[in-house]
Structure 1
Amino acid sequence: MAYEVEAPKYVRLAQTIQGRIEDGTYAPGSRVPSENQLVQAFGMSRPTVVRALELLKRDGWLESRQGYGTIVRGRPAVVEQKDRRGTEALTRDESQASGRLVAVEDTPVPVRVASVLGLPKRAQVLMRRFLVEEDGEPVELVSSYFPAGLVEGTELAESGPLSGSTRTHLEARKKVRFDHVTERVSARLPEPAEAELLDLPAGVPVLSVLVIAYDASGQALQVSDVLLPADRQELEDTYRLN
């Protein structure tokens, strides 16, 4: 069963450089290799290299210094904040989390999820839906979708709360490795069942954070649709100006 979705080349290169910063290969304060060196080392075109470096500069990993070239700044603090929704969706222990598992079922894949997983329309996927609660009040609805090929040989289809996170379960049972996450934020009106679970009045929109978890090759392993009542959310980001 094929469901490979590759990230763009410049994104994969940026992730590789980012990994080298985190493991100390490119230490904070040091210069990264030149564009020519990166082109030769990774076999990618100059526009791809330039775009990857621009992405890392935008996100605070690198900075340009006149007369010195491109310098490593290290892991920016704001990255932890940006990763929060995706990390929570992938690492939540259903058996310990505040909330309840409200559905485990095979369902036709939603269009926005099918395009990510590389599945045809009406293909069946497994959905696990968890309602996050605080002080007994619903605050977040997480619907996670898994291709059939990943469900076989796991406990994902069981109706009870999963002990441990979906990520650790899949990595242990299927010998896959989660590598990176993409988050897509949009606003929409909730479906009736979603509005009921979130206790939303008619007409109140939700923020949808589509969390797409990939392995290192760019193959999507899990897609989680995190719904947040829009009237209770405030988005904030911090970034440097070049």
Structure 2
Amino acid sequence: MAYEVAAPKYVRLAQTIQSRIEDGTYPPGTRVPSENQLVQAFGMSRPTVVRALELLKRDGWLESRQGYGTIVRGRPEVVEQRGRRGREALERDESQIAGRLVEVAEVPVPVRVASALGLPKRAKVLMRRFLVEEDGEAVELVSSYFPAGLAEDTELASAETLAGGVRAHLEARKKIRFDHVTERVSARLPEADEAGLLGLPDGVPVLSVLVIACDASGQALQVSDVLLPADRQELEDTYRLG
């Protein structure tokens, strides 16, 4: 049975502030209203306001400048770069890539995923788990999670590989638009089933890239947990200093 779950207050407030950044109410380079002003304007508690601002800073919409306050940065830049895990997770054509779909099931939402999707801890979500292989060796395990309502009237629950990629499928079926992705990288020990699928011996950690795909309002549409064997990875980035 499908159901709709309202996003937490801080997420809704963050979405409202994002909309005001988008429509020019809060132009890039200007200060956002103070915490006191936001509390009064939206009738929300200070902790809710603080959490919303922290969410917007984390996702690149705002930044703190010492002695000046919280500044609007504008829409986070979409960096076009090969190898971005988020883009790959959204656009990978399961029917064309080496690997296999290992599981499609309705599962209790993991804690990290629940936070990103704005769902309560006991909510159920649809999970698609795909194992990517190269030359017969498992190199990546992608577990993608979708709110129940979003998965309705789609092929996401099918045990067959999905042609064309999740992003194209959802945009066509649900008339939505993916706008930007936030990636959070952490290291952890894999669960037993994850280690088995990746062929990892005991004690070998994985890099977890949590991919949060959102629409223009900042609403998370899909969350993917991309697991990479840590002993086979080296992260490198080059960037300019402003």
SS in 2 for 1:80: coil
Q: In the TM superposition, what is the alpha-carbon distance from 1:7 to its structure 2 partner?
A: 9.3
Any gaps of 5 or more consecutive residues in structure 2? 34-55, 64-76
Query: Residues 1-242 of structure 1: matches in 2 within 5 Å?
Result: 1-2=4-5, 4=7, 5=11, 12=18, 41-43=24-26, 46-48=30-32, 79-81=79-81, 84-242=84-242
Quickly say closer, same or farther: Cα 1:43–1:144, change in 2 above 3 A. same
Quickly say closer, same or farther: Cα 1:216–1:190, change in 2 above 3 A. same
Q: In the TM superposition, what is the alpha-carbon distance from 1:195 to its structure 2 partner?
A: 0.2
Share of identical aligned residues, percent? 69
Q: Deviations over 1:198-234 (max 9, x none)?
A: 0000000000000000011111100000000011111
Q: 2:229, 2:132 → 1: CA distance? A: 12
Residues 108 and 122 in structure 1, CA contact (< 8 A), matched pair in contact too: yes
Residues 26 and 32 in structure 2, CA contact (< 8 A), matched pair in contact too: no
Residues 3 and 219 in structure 1, CA contact (< 8 A), matched pair in contact too: no
Counterpart residue type for residue 230 of structure 2: A
Q: 2:134, 2:18 → 1: CA distance? A: 37
Quickly say closer, same or farther: Cα 1:85–1:3, change in 2 above 3 A. farther
Counterpart residue type for residue 184 of structure 1: R
Residues 188 and 207 in structure 2, CA contact (< 8 A), matched pair in contact too: yes
Residues 99 and 130 in structure 1, CA contact (< 8 A), matched pair in contact too: yes
Q: In the TM superposition, what is the alpha-carbon distance from 1:83 to its structure 2 partner?
A: 6.6
Q: Deviations over 1:38-83 (max 9, x none)?
A: xx9433582349x99xx69x9xxxxxxxxxxxxxxxx89xx33377
Q: 2:13, 2:80 → 1: CA distance? A: 21
Quickly say closer, same or farther: Cα 1:183–1:83, change in 2 above 3 A. farther
Q: 1:219, 1:197 → 2: CA distance? A: 31
Counterpart residue type for residue 228 of structure 1: L
Q: In the TM superposition, what is the alpha-carbon distance from 1:123 to its structure 2 partner?
A: 1.0
Counterpart residue type for residue 124 of structure 2: Q
Q: In the TM superposition, what is the alpha-carbon distance from 1:6 to its structure 2 partner?
A: 6.0
Counterpart residue type for residue 26 of structure 2: G
Q: Deviations over 1:2-27 (max 9, x none)?
A: 35546958x959x96xxxxxxxxxxx
Q: Deviations over 1:152-200 (max 9, x none)?
A: 1111101111111111111111111100000000000000000000000
Any gaps of 5 or more consecutive residues in structure 1? 17-39, 59-74
Residues 102 and 130 in structure 2, CA contact (< 8 A), matched pair in contact too: yes
Counterpart residue type for residue 5 of structure 2: A
Quickly say closer, same or farther: Cα 1:82–1:164, change in 2 above 3 A. closer
Measured on the aligned residues, the alpha-carbon RMSD in Å equals 2.9
Task: Give the paired residue count.
Answer: 195
Q: 2:170, 2:91 → 1: CA distance? A: 11
Which deviates more, 183-192 or 159-168?
A: 159-168
